[in-house]
Amino acid sequence: MTLYWPIALIVLSNVFYHICSKATPAGINPFASLTVTYGVGLLLCVILYFVTAKDGNLMQEYKQLNWSSFVFGLTLVGLEAGSIYMYKVGWNISTGNVVASVSLAIVLIVVGALVYKEVITLRKVAGVLICLLGLYFINQ
């Protein structure tokens, strides 16, 4: 169970993520909507920090930050704005995320090999080819 609960959380959160992205009103500027999204997220993170941290000292924690938290913030805005715009321009909830996720998986195989020295096996190449075939069929 310990191994799988994070995956279940990701899947459940992603389902609601895409439902909410698609349900964002058509007339609203996505960045106005995201100001509320991030306000709620900030509040939840502060609450969860104090619930989960023994003798929590948030300012002390901040001293351990590196560049990744700042870049992560930029990428989250890109992910969420991209998701909202994906639906605004007409992608279906059943295919838009699949195309994005398969494309991401292929790019991450290359990043894994180039940056983290992960091995690209014949199975991974076969998986990429199957994914590309799937993208072809989805977009027909």
Q: What is the DSSP string of 56-118?
A: --HHHHHTT--HHHHHHHHHHHHHHHHHHHHHHTT--TTTHHHHHHHHHHHHHHHHHHHHH--
- Using 50, 70 and 90 to split pLDDT, how confident is the model at 54? confident
Higher pLDDT: 94 or 67? It is 67
- The two tokens of residue 18 are 């895409």
Contacts for 56 with CB less than 8 Å, ≥ 6 apart: 49, 50
What proportion of the chain, given as a percentage, has pLDDT over 70?
Answer: 99
Average pLDDT over residues 39-59: 95
Per-residue model confidence as pLDDT tens digits over 89-109? 999 998 999 999 999 999 999
Check whether 138 has a pLDDT greater than 80: yes
**pTM of the predicted protein model:** 0.88
Please give the pLDDT value at position 2.
87
Distance CA 45, CA 50 (A): 9
